[in-house]
Chains A and B, each alone.
Chain A
Amino acid sequence: MKKIQLNFRTKLGVIVGTMTVGLVLLIVANLVISSNVAWELRKIHNYYVPLIEVGPKLEIQFNGVMRGLQDAVAAHDEEALSATSKLNQTLIENLEKNAEIIYPGQPEKLQELKLALETNYSVAHDVSVRLLHNETGISVVNAMGEMQKVFSHSKNLLEKAILFDEEKLSKAFESVGSAQKTAEELELIISGVCLIIIIILSLWIGRGVLRSLYALTEGFKRFREGDFLTPIPIESDDELGEVAKNANLMSSKIRSLLAELKTTNKELESFSYSVAHDLRAPLRASIGFSNALLEDYSSILPDEAKKMLNQVIISSSKMGELINGLLSLSRITRNPMVVEEVNLSAVAKDVILTLQQGAPERKVLVHIEEGVMVRGDPRLLHVVLANLLGNAWKFTGKSDDAKIDFGKIREGDTDVYFVRDNGAGFDMRYVEKLFGTFQRLHPESEFEGTGIGLATVQRIILRHHGRIWARSEKNKGATFFFSLAVSEGAEV
């Protein structure tokens, strides 16, 4: 079965649509049902209310006609007798007038009742006349019997016609009630169905969203931990799926970049290996053979030749140092950083101690601020301070009141660390060259060095996401400032 894949826009549309359709259905059903109920009620009203009025009236009139006849006979009043005809006429007229109330849509029944009433009257009138004229005999008795029959027939019909039918009424009300009940049930069904559809859709969407979000969370966690090999599973074809797809594209890009970086690093490693191995060997040879010459053929070499050989040895040694510097520089860039709490004050003291031990005759006034704590790679930060303090030590070598300070200042919202000396300093015009590899601002005859130290320091500071800069005035000393901004788990 093919899984139905819709995006959120469509899913939301389906929900809103369902709700709208449900609402419209409810309104229509309500209208239909309420108009039905109203119609039923009106029917009841139109039928029963007049009947309640008209029925008793007709009955009274009917009784009135009969009593009129009786009274006329009893009083022997011919005039009263003829007056009853008018009464009966009124009764018939009333009957016809209210035909629609009594027999709605049943003209034949009306005719039957009318006929019965007219027959009744004519028979009763006929008997009344004969009684009035004091007729006796069997024929009158027969006529009276006939009259009795006709009378009960007509009275029966009339009573039936105007009977207030409670059963019918309750049935009518029942039908109204059932119409209302049907309406309620229908509404319940419609809202129930809509609700179920909405709930199912919401659950469907919610589940999809949760699954996608879970996959995304897990995936990004993996990315953060450096696992770019496992892509985020695409859980849905919707907007979140799009996010996952893009994240996967990004991760594969990172992966290829990492692979590239790895290759570059490998190349660099093999390069430095070559430097270590291949550049040192010839140096050692030139020094070694120069030494061998000096040792083995000392007796036959002129002094000038010996001097020259010594120069060869010195230059070659110098180059060895340069190679070592380059190697350590490349090692600093390559090895992974170990970030921890480092007491810079302690490191500075340690460095100064070593420097002092290397030159016990020197008197330098050193001030190290206590308790300067930073986060960084302790080994690399030691290299930084060894170079900066070493430089300060070196460039104060020619002054009698040498002073070296290490401390911390606050600049804006960053901590800035500094190493200050009152030594030879440098010309600020060349400050740009200060941190370049093999760049030196002093002649080697004045201050020895390889020109790699500050380049190394700068690399280390950059790996700590920090900044390094310097201020100086020639012969008035130099100050080197640096900041560190390494965060937990940060790796360059």
Chain B
Amino acid sequence: MRGRKILLVEDNSSDEALIKRVFSKANVKNEIVTVRDGEEVLEYLFCKGAYHGRNGDDVPRVVFLDLKLPKVDGLEVLKQIKANEKTSLVPVVILTSSREEGDVVEGFKRGANSYVVKPVDAADFNDCIQQLALYWMNLNEPCPLNFWGTEK
């Protein structure tokens, strides 16, 4: 049983590879779905465009969201996730390089569940991702699907 998927929104393939490496080292078995721009996130979540026909009830357990994304920017994506009934209870963890105060404030205003600045130092980065994997995949109790995701 691999459990619900993890949605990783990351346009940087290096970061994607590094994050996936840490997750796999941390023994996270859940499938990590990677999308590379803002539009794709929305299409994936709301089963549109390239993801037409995807089962919309298959909501991710957690979304790791980069802010600076091609096409639709991260804060806009966040807003739409939180505005949609089906996805509003998915925890969204902003994982970004920006520690700009404006981004932090705006992120929380729009309902982010956590705001994590990617450490510059690679070792710190590894630690950070490892802790995220531990916390969000082991400690954090997700909201049961049948209470919201399946409800019409």
Which chain A residues have a beta carbon within 8 Å of chain B's beta carbons? 269, 273, 276-278, 280-285, 287-292, 313, 316-317, 320, 323-324
Given A284-B122, A324-B120, decide whether A276 and B18 contact each other with a Cβ distance below 8 A. Answer: no
Chain B residue at smallest Cβ distance from A296: B21
Most buried by B among A282, A283, A292, A320: A292
Q: Which residues of B contact A291 (CB under 8 A)?
A: 122-123, 126
Q: Does B125 contact A (CB under 8 A)?
A: yes
A291–B119 Cα gap in the complex (Å)?
A: 15
Q: Which residues of B contact A283 (CB under 8 A)?
A: 120
Q: Is the CB of A288 within 8 A of B120?
A: no
Tell me how far the C-beta of A269 lies from the nearest C-beta in chain B, rounded to whole angstroms.
Answer: 8
Q: Does B12 contact A (CB under 8 A)?
A: yes
Q: Is the CB of B97 within 8 A of A281?
A: yes
Q: Is the CB of A280 within 8 A of B120?
A: yes
> How many B residues face the partner with a CB closer than 8 A?
21
A84–B122 Cα gap in the complex (Å)?
A: 163
Q: Is the CB of B15 within 8 A of A281?
A: yes
A290–B18 Cα gap in the complex (Å)?
A: 11
Q: Which residues of A contact B141 (CB under 8 A)?
A: none
Q: Which residues of A contact B15 (CB under 8 A)?
A: 281, 284-285
A-B contact count (CB 8 A): 63
Q: Is the CB of A273 within 8 A of B98?
A: yes
Tell me how far the C-beta of A310 lies from the nearest C-beta in chain B, rounded to whole angstroms.
Answer: 12
Given A282-B14, A285-B18, decide whether A276 and B125 contact each other with a Cβ distance below 8 A. Answer: no
Given A273-B98, A280-B120, A320-B120, decide whether A288 and B68 contact each other with a Cβ distance below 8 A. Answer: no
Tell me how far the C-beta of B105 lies from the nearest C-beta in chain A, rounded to whole angstroms.
Answer: 14
Q: Is the CB of B99 within 8 A of A288?
A: no
Q: Is the CB of B122 within 8 A of A287?
A: yes
Interface hits, B98-126 → A, CB 8 Å? 98-100, 118-123, 125-126
A84–B89 Cα gap in the complex (Å)?
A: 156
Q: Is the CB of A289 within 8 A of B99?
A: no
Q: Does B130 contact A (CB under 8 A)?
A: no
Q: Is the CB of A288 within 8 A of B97?
A: no
Q: Can you list 29 contacts pairing A with B, beta carbon distance less than 8 Å?
A: A269-B100, A273-B98, A276-B97, A276-B100, A277-B68, A277-B96, A278-B68, A281-B12, A281-B97, A282-B14, A284-B14, A284-B15, A284-B18, A284-B119, A284-B120, A284-B122, A284-B125, A285-B18, A287-B121, A288-B125, A289-B18, A291-B126, A292-B18, A292-B21, A316-B122, A317-B120, A317-B121, A320-B120, A320-B121
A317–B122 Cα gap in the complex (Å)?
A: 9
Chain B residue at smallest Cβ distance from A285: B14
Tell me how far the C-beta of B94 lies from the nearest C-beta in chain A, rounded to whole angstroms.
Answer: 13
A281–B18 Cα gap in the complex (Å)?
A: 11
Query: 9 additional contacts, CB 8 Å, given A284-B122, A316-B122?
Result: A273-B68, A276-B100, A277-B98, A281-B14, A284-B15, A284-B125, A285-B14, A285-B15, A287-B123
Q: Is the CB of A288 within 8 A of B14?
A: yes
A287–B99 Cα gap in the complex (Å)?
A: 20
Tell me how far the C-beta of B148 lies from the nearest C-beta in chain A, rounded to whole angstroms.
Answer: 33
Q: Is the CB of B97 within 8 A of A290?
A: no
A316–B14 Cα gap in the complex (Å)?
A: 15
Q: Is the CB of B122 within 8 A of A277?
A: no
A269–B101 Cα gap in the complex (Å)?
A: 12
